[in-house]
Structure 1
Amino acid sequence: MKRIAAMLLTSVLLLSCVGCAQDGRKELGAEKADLGLTADVKPATNFTAKANAAIYDELDFDDKQEYEFATRGLIDAPETLELKDEDGTILWSQEAYAFLDDYEKAPDSVNPSLWENTKNNHAYGLFEVTDGIYQVRGYDMANLTVIKGDTGWIVFDTLMSVECSQAAMQLIEKNLGKFPVKAVIISHSHADHFGGIAGVMAKEDKADETLSIEDQLASGKIPVITPVGFTEHSVKENVYAGKGMGRRSNYQYGILLTPGVTGKLAQGIGMGQSTGTVSFMTPSYEIMQSGEKLTIDGVELEFQLTPGTEAPAEMNTWLPQYKALWMAENCTGTLHNLYTLRGAEVRDGAAWANYITEAISLYGKDAEVTFQSHNWPHWGNNVVNDYMVNTAAVYKFINDQTLTYINQGYTSDEISNMIELPEALNKIWYTRQYYGTVAHNAKAVYQKFMGWYDSNPVNLNPLMPSDSAKKWVEYLGDVDKVLQMAKADFDKGEYQWVAEVTNTIVFADPTNTDARLLCADALEQLGYQAESGPWRNEYLTAAQELRHGNANFTASTKSTGDMVKALSAPMLFDYMAIVMDKQALADRDFTMNVILPDVGEQHMLRVKNGMLLVYADTLSDDADVSITCPKNALFAILTNNQETVTQAVKVEGSAELLTLMMENMNQFPITGANPFNIIEP
C-alpha cells in the first residue's frame, strides 16, 4: 500500500535525523520551530501558478464553440440573479460570481479550464433551444425545460428547490405568456431534477395514478411521468443514506464555501446546489419500456429507458416534430461520474456508453439538436452525432482500460494514477473533467467488478484510522520534526504528500494546530489546481474546516418531508431499522402486528436482538403488541411524535413496546443537519 510504504520511508528518515533521540522522541530542550502557519486563505504558490499556466498550452482556448452554445438563443435574463427566502437567506446566486467579469484570464488560483466552464455556466436566463422548446438555465444546478404544446407547457425536470423553479416559471411566463402545465416529465431519480416540483404544480393538481395515461391527460389534471423505478431509487438514495450523503454533499458542492477566485466556482454541471425547499411527488405514470410513445397536448414523445447510467432510473426522450433529442443527464457537456463524491451506487460505464450509441442508432440520423438537464444544447446533425459518439467513447474507454489494468494485476489506487484518456478525447471541451474525473471513474469500475479489497491481506481488517494514526505518530516520534520536513516538502510543491502526512497527525491529535494549518495549506493548493469543480470544493472545504472547525450546522436544504412520507410501509420499516439503536434493544425479542387499513396492508415486525425484521402480508396469532393506523402515521412513530401517535394509532397489547421502539429510533436526526467530522476524527 503506497501510503504505508511512504510512511515507513519517513520513519527511516526520521530515525536518522539530527535532533532526534535514539528512541525517536524529541530530545530534551529542543525548541519547536515556528513554521509561520496561519489560518488565512493563501494565494496560489509559484508551483500552482505554473501548473495552471501550463493548461493554456494543453487546450485550444481559441475554440469557443461551448461558450457560443452556452449563450446562444438568450431571450431574457435579469441584470442580477439572487434568490432569497423570507428571512433574507440567499438560496441561489449568480450575482456572487460577478467577479468573473473582472478578469481577462484565469487568476493563478484557478485552473484555466475550470475557469472557462465557470464562465459558460454563468450564462443564465431564458433560452430558446428551437422554436417551441425553451430552457431556463443558471437558476439552479440543473435546467428547467418547457415545450409548448397546443394549449400549455410540458415541463422537463423541475430543479432542486421550489423557490428556484418558481422563479424560473415566472421568467418563462413574463416572456412567453402564461399557459397551464399539461404534464411534468422527470428524467431521473436525483433530487436536483424533481425537488422543485411544488414550484411548478400543486400536489392537488396531480393526475390520478389509478387512471390510464390517456384518462389522466383527459382529466384536466397534470400527469407526473417518470422512468420505471423512479420512486424507489429516489427515496432510497435520499433517505436511507440521506444524512451521510447530505453532509458529504457539503464538501462536493462547496455549500460552505464563498464564491471567489480562492473559493467556490462552477461544478461542471452548473454553478452549484441551491439551498431552498426540496419537495417530492410520486409519479402518476411510469414509462415501462423503451420505445413507448405518448402524445401530450399535440406534442409527440418517444422514450428511451437508460437504467444504470447516470441514475438507476433514467430516460432520454425523442421529440420527432422538433428533431430534438433530450439526453437527460447521459450527455452533459462534461465528463460525468461513474462514482460521485457525495456517495451513490456505482454506475455502469459500459451500459452508459451503450445507451448513448443506442440513441445514436435510433435518432442520430434525424437529430438536429441535443439538449439535456445540465449545461447547454448542441446544434447541427454532425455536431450532435460527434457529441454523442465522443461522450460514449470516454465512458467505454474508462470501463475497458480499467478492466485491462485489473487483469494485469493493478490495484484501484495504481490504476487511478495510471489511466489517461486518449489525447484526441482528452482535448475535447465537452469531455473535460469538470465534474467527474478519469481517476475516480476508473476507481468506480474497479469497485464495480472487484469491490473495495485489493487482495493484500494487510488490508483485510485495518485499524480504525485514528488508532492507526496514533501508532504512526508513536513510531515517527518527533512530530515537530515531521512537520518541519512536511513544510519543506510544501515549499517544494509536494502538496499531496504533505496533505497525507499532516492529516495522519491530525487524526492522531486533532489539537495539533500546525498539522491542521499545514494540511489546510496543502489542500488549498490542490484545490486551486483542480480542473474538477467538486475536487476543488472538496479540497477547499476541508481546508476551511481544518482552519475554522466544522461549519455544517449552518448548511442544509429545507425539506417538506414529502420524500420520507412517500416511502412505502416496507421501506419505512427498513428506515426504522437504520435509525434504531440496535445495541439498546440487543436483549429484546418481541413481535408487533401492523395493520394499515388505508393502503390495505398488514405486516408483522419482529425485534430480534436489536434487529427489525419485516414479514410482509403476515400477522402473528400471538403478537406482543398490535397497532392499527394510517400508513402516514408510521412517520410519527419513526420521529417519536407521541402526540400524533396517541391520536392516530390504535394500540392493543403491550403498548410499552411501541414506546420502547419509538424512543430508540435515535441514532441520527431525521430532520436537520448531521454535522459529523470528515477531515478529522
Structure 2
Amino acid sequence: MKMTRRNFISTSAATMLACGVSLSAHAAGSESENGLNFITDIFSDPAKPGTTQDATPLTAEKNAEWYSKLDFSDRREFVNAERGMLDNAEETVIYNDDGTTAWDLPSYGDLSGDAPDTVNPSLWRNTQLNAKAGLYEVCNGIYQVRGFDMSNATFIRTDNGWIIFDVLMCRENMQAAKTLMEKRFGTLDVKAVLYSHSHVDHFGGAEGAIDRNNVADSSLSIEQQLASGKTVVLAPEGFLKHAISENVYAGIAMARRAQYQYGTVLEKGSKGALSIGIGMGQSTGQVALIPPTFEIGSDTPALTIDGLKIEFQLTPGTEAPAEMNAYFPKYRALWMAENCTGTLHNLYTLRGAQVRDANDWAKYIIEADQKFCDKTDVVFQSHNWPHWGEEIHEYLLNTAAIYKFIHDQTLHYMNLGYTSTEISSMISLPDALEKVWYTRQYYGTLSHNSKAVYQKYLGWYNANPVDLDPLPPSETAKKLVEYLGSTNAVLLRAKKDYNKGEYQWVAQITKELVFADPTNQKARNLCADALEQLGYQAESGAWRNVYLMGAAELRSGNLSGRARTANGLTNSMRAMTVSMLLDYIAILSDGNAAQNDDLTLNLNVTDENEQFYVTRKNGVLLAYPGENRTDAQASVTCKRLQLFALMTGQQAGQVQITGDATVLKRLLAYASKFEKTFNIIEP
C-alpha cells in the first residue's frame, strides 16, 4: 500500500535531533510519474523528474542585489574565523568503519570567488567561513577543532590533563578531532567531559572522546567522582530528561522533517546543500549517549576540576531546554554554549521542537555580559569562531538585541491585532542590526522566529473562526481545484506568474494541484521549479535545504530512503529512565485499538530500586511512581534494560511475572511501528 500521511506504517526506533539533527533513515515508497494530458508547450523546455534547473535571470538579478545590501568588504569575521589556526584541515574526509563517509568537506566543491547565480551571496559568504576547518588556539590553554562536524570540540587544559567541552555528534568525527589534538599535544588525559546542552551534536560523539568503561560512578557525590580518577561527565540540570524526551517522543516526526531542514539527500554545492549557519551540515557516523554522572544545578555555581575552576551560568529555555554557559577565570575566557553562535539562531526550528523563550534568551546573554564581560579576553562557543577583546561586549549586546527585538516587536504587532502570518511579513530589523554579519539569518530567520513568539503566547489559532476547524489539506485542495475549473488553465496562468518571478505564489497554487492530484507531474514540476528558485534566493541555509528538498521530492517522489544520517539511536535510547520508557510505551500504543483491553500491573525495577503501579483504562496508560497495589492483575520484576529490550522487540532474558501472565504481553501488544518515510510535499 502506498504510504501517505494518514496511512503510513511507522518503527519503534526513534530519533534524537541536534540543535536539531536526525540520526537514521529507512526505505521510502516510490512516486508515480504518470501525468495528466497536458498542453505540451506550457514549458519551452520542460524539466524531467529529478532534473535541477539553473537560476532564472530574475533569481540571478535578485541575488546580485545582495552585494549592495550588505558590506562584503567587511572582513572582520574572516579574521576571527582564521585567527589562531594551528593545523589546517580543510580537505578533511572522515570515514565510517564500513568505508562510507561520516564527513566530507571537499564534496562542497570550489567555494572561492563570488557566489554563483544559484546561491544567495550572503549564504555563500557564510559557507566560505564555515568551511574553514582545523585546530585553532582560542587562547593559550584552550583549543578548538572546528569544521569536523556541525559543532566544535573544545579542549581546555587543566593542571594535569584536559577537559573536553562538547564532543561533536558522531564517534568517528570526535575520534578524528581528538587525533588532530594529540598530533600536537600528545596523548590526552581527559579528566572530564562537559555537555553544554541537550542536543545530539554536542553529546553524540562521546565514545570517540572517552572510554565508557572508565566513567565515574554517578551514585557518588561529585567530590568523590572527582577524586576517583575516572572521567566525570557533566551537564546542565535537566539534561538527560530533555536529551531523551524532547527528541525521542516526537523523534520520528522530527527525523523526517529534519531530512528537509538539513537536505540529507541533496548533492553538496552550488545547486544543492551549503552551510546552515552553524556549520556545514550533519555528520553520518555512529551516535551514542554516555549519560552525565552529575548534572549542574543552581546549587553548584562553580567546580574545580584538576585545578581548573569553572563558573557556571544556567540558561534553561534558551537554545535548548537544558543549557549552560561557563566562565574560566584562569583563561579569562567565556563559553556561551549555543546562546551565541555567529548567526541568528532558531526560536523555532523547522524540524519541529519546543519553542524557545526569546525574552529569556536575551536576558541570559545580558546576565553573562554583566557577570563576566569586564574580566573576559575571549568569548567562544559550540559553533563557529570566537571573538576577542573590544569586540566582546558588542558581540554579546547585538546578539541579545536581535532576540529581544523579535520578541518585543512580535508582541507589539500582536497587540495591534495582526496575525502570525501578517507579522512575519511586516517585521524588519533596524538598519544598524541588519548589517551585523554575525546575526544574519543563516539558520533562524526573522520570519519564522516571529511566528515562534506568536505561537508561544497565542498558539496556532489566529482568532478567525474560519480557521478554527479547516478541512484537511487534500480535501481543501480538491474543493479549490473544483472551484478553479480547468487545471490546464491554472497551470498556464501559474507559468506566466513564474516567468514574472512570483515564485512563492506559484508554489502555493501548484501545491494545491498536487494535493488534489499527486499524479499531475506537470503541476509537480512547476511547483518544484518555483521552490528551487526560492531556494537559490534564500539567505538561510535551512530554508534553502527545505525548498530544494521539496523540489527534489516533487520531481522524483519520496526520497527518505536515500537519506544518509547518523546511526546508533538504540544505544542512545538505552539511557532512558524507567519513567521515560513507560511514557514511550504509551506513545507507541494505539489508544483507540487498546480501549477495550484494560489492565493493571505492578512493575518492580530491581537495578534502579523503583516501583510503579501501571494501569491502562479506556486506552490510556498511566503510571503511579513509588506504588505497588494489591489489586494489580500481575507483578513484573525486571531490570531497566530488560524493560527496554521488551519495548523494542529484543530478547530480554528472564523476566519474573506473577499473576496474569498475559498482562505484560498485552501492555506492548498495541505498539505501532514508526518509520520516518511519510510524505511531506504531497498527500
Which TM-score tier does this pair reach, normalised by the shorter chain? over 0.9
Q: For 1:553 and 1:611, locate their aligned partners in 2 and report how far apart those are by CA, in whole Å.
A: 33
Greater relative contact order: 1 or 2 (C-alpha under 8 angstroms, separation 6 or more)? 2
The answer to whether the 8 A contact 1:157-1:193 is kept is yes
Task: Identify unmatched segments of 5+ residues in structure 1.
Answer: 1-28
Residue 290 of structure 1: how far off its partner (Å)? 7.6
Which residue of structure 2 lines up, in the alignment, with residue 17 of structure 1?
none
Which residue of structure 2 lines up, in the alignment, with residue 9 of structure 1?
none
Which of 480, 483, 489 is residue 488 of structure 2 equivalent to?
480
Which of 327, 330, 348 is residue 339 of structure 1 equivalent to?
348
Residue 563 of structure 1: how far off its partner (Å)? 2.7
Structure 1 counterpart of 2:527, which letter?
C
Q: SS at the partner of 1:271?
A: coil
Q: For 2:657 and 2:432, locate their aligned partners in 1 and report how far apart those are by CA, in whole Å.
A: 68
Q: For 1:153 and 1:558, locate their aligned partners in 2 and report how far apart those are by CA, in whole Å.
A: 28
Structure 2 counterpart of 1:506, which letter?
V
Instruction: Confirm whether residue 93 of structure 1 aligns to residue 104 of structure 2.
Output: yes
Structure 2 counterpart of 1:464, which letter?
P
Q: For 2:611 and 2:264, locate their aligned partners in 1 and report how far apart those are by CA, in whole Å.
A: 42
User: How is 1:106-125 mapped onto 2 (pairs within 5 angstroms)?
Assistant: 106-125=115-134
Which residue of structure 1 lines up, in the alignment, with residue 5 of structure 2?
none
Instruction: Confirm whether residue 649 of structure 1 aligns to residue 639 of structure 2.
Output: no
Instruction: Confirm whether residue 252 of structure 1 aligns to residue 261 of structure 2.
Output: yes
- Of the structure 1 ranges 657-666 and 614-623, higher mean CA displacement relative to structure 2 is found in 657-666
Which residue of structure 1 lines up, in the alignment, with residue 32 of structure 2?
none
Which of 158, 161, 168 is residue 159 of structure 1 equivalent to?
168
Instruction: Confirm whether residue 62 of structure 1 aligns to residue 73 of structure 2.
Output: yes
Residue 584 of structure 1: how far off its partner (Å)? 2.0
Which of 36, 50, 58 is residue 47 of structure 1 equivalent to?
58
The count of residues paired between Structure 1 and Structure 2 equals: 643
Which residue of structure 2 lines up, in the alignment, with residue 3 of structure 1?
none
Q: 1:30 to 1:402 in 2, by over 3 A?
A: closer
User: How is 1:225-236 mapped onto 2 (pairs within 5 angstroms)?
Assistant: 225-236=234-245
- Of the structure 1 ranges 564-573 and 306-315, higher mean CA displacement relative to structure 2 is found in 564-573
Which of 432, 443, 449 is residue 440 of structure 2 equivalent to?
432
Q: 1:71 to 1:106 in 2, by over 3 A?
A: same
Instruction: Confirm whether residue 516 of structure 1 aligns to residue 524 of structure 2.
Output: yes
Q: SS at the partner of 1:277?
A: coil
User: How is 1:298-377 mapped onto 2 (pairs within 5 angstroms)?
Assistant: 298-377=307-386
Q: For 1:598 and 1:112, locate their aligned partners in 2 and report how far apart those are by CA, in whole Å.
A: 57
Residue 87 of structure 1: how far off its partner (Å)? 2.1
Residue 554 of structure 1: how far off its partner (Å)? 2.9
Instruction: Confirm whether residue 403 of structure 1 aligns to residue 411 of structure 2.
Output: yes
Q: SS at the partner of 2:545?
A: helix
The answer to whether the 8 A contact 1:330-1:356 is kept is yes
Instruction: Confirm whether residue 565 of structure 1 aligns to residue 571 of structure 2.
Output: no
Q: SS at the partner of 1:365?
A: helix
Which residue of structure 1 lines up, in the alignment, with residue 681 of structure 2?
679
Residue 656 of structure 1: how far off its partner (Å)? 2.5
Give structure 1 regions of 4+ aligned residues with deviation exceeding 6 angstroms: none
Which residue of structure 2 lines up, in the alignment, with residue 461 of structure 1?
469
Which of 189, 192, 195 is residue 186 of structure 1 equivalent to?
195
Residue 249 of structure 1: how far off its partner (Å)? 1.0
Q: For 2:310 and 2:624, locate their aligned partners in 1 and report how far apart those are by CA, in whole Å.
A: 41
Task: Identify unmatched segments of 5+ residues in structure 2.
Answer: 1-36
The answer to whether the 8 A contact 1:76-1:126 is kept is yes
Q: For 1:132 and 1:210, locate their aligned partners in 2 and report how far apart those are by CA, in whole Å.
A: 31
Q: 1:580 to 1:453 in 2, by over 3 A?
A: same
Instruction: Confirm whether residue 552 of structure 1 aligns to residue 554 of structure 2.
Output: no
Q: 1:57 to 1:79 in 2, by over 3 A?
A: closer
Structure 2 counterpart of 1:48, which letter?
T
Which residue of structure 1 lines up, in the alignment, with residue 211 of structure 2?
202
Residue 639 of structure 1: how far off its partner (Å)? 1.5
Structure 2 counterpart of 1:457, which letter?
P
Q: For 1:276 and 1:31, locate their aligned partners in 2 and report how far apart those are by CA, in whole Å.
A: 48
Structure 2 counterpart of 1:179, which letter?
L
**What CA deviation, in whole Å up to 9, does each residue of 1:324-361 have, x standing for no partner?**
10000011000111110011110011101100010111
Q: For 1:558 and 1:427, locate their aligned partners in 2 and report how far apart those are by CA, in whole Å.
A: 39
Which residue of structure 2 lines up, in the alignment, with residue 74 of structure 1?
85
Which residue of structure 1 lines up, in the alignment, with residue 94 of structure 2?
83
Q: For 1:360 and 1:354, locate their aligned partners in 2 and report how far apart those are by CA, in whole Å.
A: 10
Q: For 1:322 and 1:474, locate their aligned partners in 2 and report how far apart those are by CA, in whole Å.
A: 68
Which residue of structure 2 lines up, in the alignment, with residue 7 of structure 1?
none
Q: For 1:459 and 1:195, locate their aligned partners in 2 and report how far apart those are by CA, in whole Å.
A: 41
- Of the structure 1 ranges 178-187 and 653-662, higher mean CA displacement relative to structure 2 is found in 653-662
Structure 2 counterpart of 1:383, which letter?
E
Residue 581 of structure 1: how far off its partner (Å)? 2.0
The answer to whether the 8 A contact 2:151-2:384 is kept is yes
Q: 1:79 to 1:409 in 2, by over 3 A?
A: closer
Which residue of structure 2 lines up, in the alignment, with residue 537 of structure 1?
545
Structure 1 counterpart of 2:294, which letter?
Y
Structure 1 counterpart of 2:102, which letter?
L
Residue 658 of structure 1: how far off its partner (Å)? 2.1
Residue 467 of structure 1: how far off its partner (Å)? 1.1
Instruction: Confirm whether residue 423 of structure 1 aligns to residue 425 of structure 2.
Output: no
Q: SS at the partner of 2:488?
A: helix
Which residue of structure 2 lines up, in the alignment, with residue 279 of structure 1?
288
Q: SS at the partner of 1:278?
A: coil
Residue 211 of structure 1: how far off its partner (Å)? 1.8
Residue 443 of structure 1: how far off its partner (Å)? 0.4
Structure 2 counterpart of 1:287, which letter?
I
- Of the structure 1 ranges 609-618 and 309-318, higher mean CA displacement relative to structure 2 is found in 609-618
Which of 618, 626, 635 is residue 609 of structure 1 equivalent to?
618
Residue 31 of structure 1: how far off its partner (Å)? 5.5
Q: For 1:592 and 1:524, locate their aligned partners in 2 and report how far apart those are by CA, in whole Å.
A: 54
Q: SS at the partner of 2:534?
A: helix
Q: 1:566 to 1:591 in 2, by over 3 A?
A: same
Q: For 1:290 and 1:506, locate their aligned partners in 2 and report how far apart those are by CA, in whole Å.
A: 56
The answer to whether the 8 A contact 1:254-1:264 is kept is yes
**What CA deviation, in whole Å up to 9, does each residue of 1:104-160 have, x standing for no partner?**
210111000000100000100100000010000000000000001121111000001
Which residue of structure 2 lines up, in the alignment, with residue 12 of structure 1?
none
Which residue of structure 2 lines up, in the alignment, with residue 658 of structure 1?
664
**What CA deviation, in whole Å up to 9, does each residue of 1:361-382 have, x standing for no partner?**
10111211100000000011x2
Residue 661 of structure 1: how far off its partner (Å)? 2.9
Q: For 1:111 and 1:178, locate their aligned partners in 2 and report how far apart those are by CA, in whole Å.
A: 43
Which residue of structure 1 lines up, in the alignment, with residue 395 of structure 2?
387
Residue 178 of structure 1: how far off its partner (Å)? 1.2
Residue 34 of structure 1: how far off its partner (Å)? 3.9
Q: For 2:41 and 2:512, locate their aligned partners in 1 and report how far apart those are by CA, in whole Å.
A: 20
The answer to whether the 8 A contact 2:42-2:495 is kept is no
Which residue of structure 1 lines up, in the alignment, with residue 146 of structure 2?
137
Residue 659 of structure 1: how far off its partner (Å)? 2.0
Which residue of structure 2 lines up, in the alignment, with residue 127 of structure 1?
136
Q: For 2:488 and 2:100, locate their aligned partners in 1 and report how far apart those are by CA, in whole Å.
A: 43
The answer to whether the 8 A contact 2:206-2:288 is kept is yes
RMSD of the alignment, in Å? 1.4
Q: For 2:356 and 2:89, locate their aligned partners in 1 and report how far apart those are by CA, in whole Å.
A: 38
Residue 79 of structure 1: how far off its partner (Å)? 6.0
Structure 2 counterpart of 1:146, which letter?
F
Q: For 1:190 and 1:336, locate their aligned partners in 2 and report how far apart those are by CA, in whole Å.
A: 14
Residue 61 of structure 1: how far off its partner (Å)? 0.6
Structure 2 counterpart of 1:312, which letter?
P
Residue 666 of structure 1: how far off its partner (Å)? 2.2
Residue 71 of structure 1: how far off its partner (Å)? 1.1
Q: For 1:602 and 1:150, locate their aligned partners in 2 and report how far apart those are by CA, in whole Å.
A: 44
Instruction: Confirm whether residue 263 of structure 1 aligns to residue 272 of structure 2.
Output: yes
The answer to whether the 8 A contact 1:290-1:303 is kept is no
Q: 1:373 to 1:545 in 2, by over 3 A?
A: same
